[in-house]
Amino acid sequence: MQPSSIHAGEFPPGYFRFTPAEFLELMGGDIPIAVDIIETAQVEAAAQQGRIAAIPVGGDADTTSRMLHAMRGSVANFGAEPLVELLREMEAACKQGGNSAVLSFMQQFTSECACYQKGLACFLAALRAVNT
């Protein structure tokens, strides 16, 4: 799987489950709430990425599996299928081969997380543009 390509200033069609306009409609047109949710998703994804990136080789695989599962659920709320699929693969690898199996995915994981963050930033910019 190749890392997603999200360029600064572009919103990638189909990367997320809904467009910024559809998301805003789901939020009842409340721009501050919509912005807060996306900002929270950015912070939480960064924290989850940091915890996963810091897993020790000999660490508890059940804990790692739960971290991967939690991040997958958070990301899946927005779509981001390339990252969701990678997290699914990492979780399966962890269950079969422990933390050492997960470490082989770290470069791709870092790339996909960066794409997800760029996507959220584009999404957020589109929401903020409505408010100006």
Mean pLDDT (the chain) is 87
Residue 73's CB: how many other CB atoms inside 10 A? 11
The pLDDT value given to residue 19: 84
3-state helix, strand, coil in the chain (%, to 5): 70, 0, 25
Pick the more confident residue, 89 or 15: 89
Q: How confident is the model at residue 131 (pLDDT cuts 50, 70, 90)?
A: low
Question: Mean pLDDT across the stretch 44-48?
Answer: 97
The pLDDT value given to residue 62: 94
The pLDDT value given to residue 11: 56
**CB 92, CB 3: distance < 8 Å:** no
Q: How confident is the model at residue 65 (pLDDT cuts 50, 70, 90)?
A: very high
Residue pLDDT, tens place only, 68-127? 999 999 999 998 999 999 999 999 999 999 999 999 999 999 999 999 999 999 889 988
49 pLDDT more than 80: yes
State the Cα–Cα distance between residues 72 and 82, nearest whole angstrom: 11
Residue 112's CB: how many other CB atoms inside 10 A? 24
The pLDDT value given to residue 4: 47
State the Cα–Cα distance between residues 58 and 70, nearest whole angstrom: 21
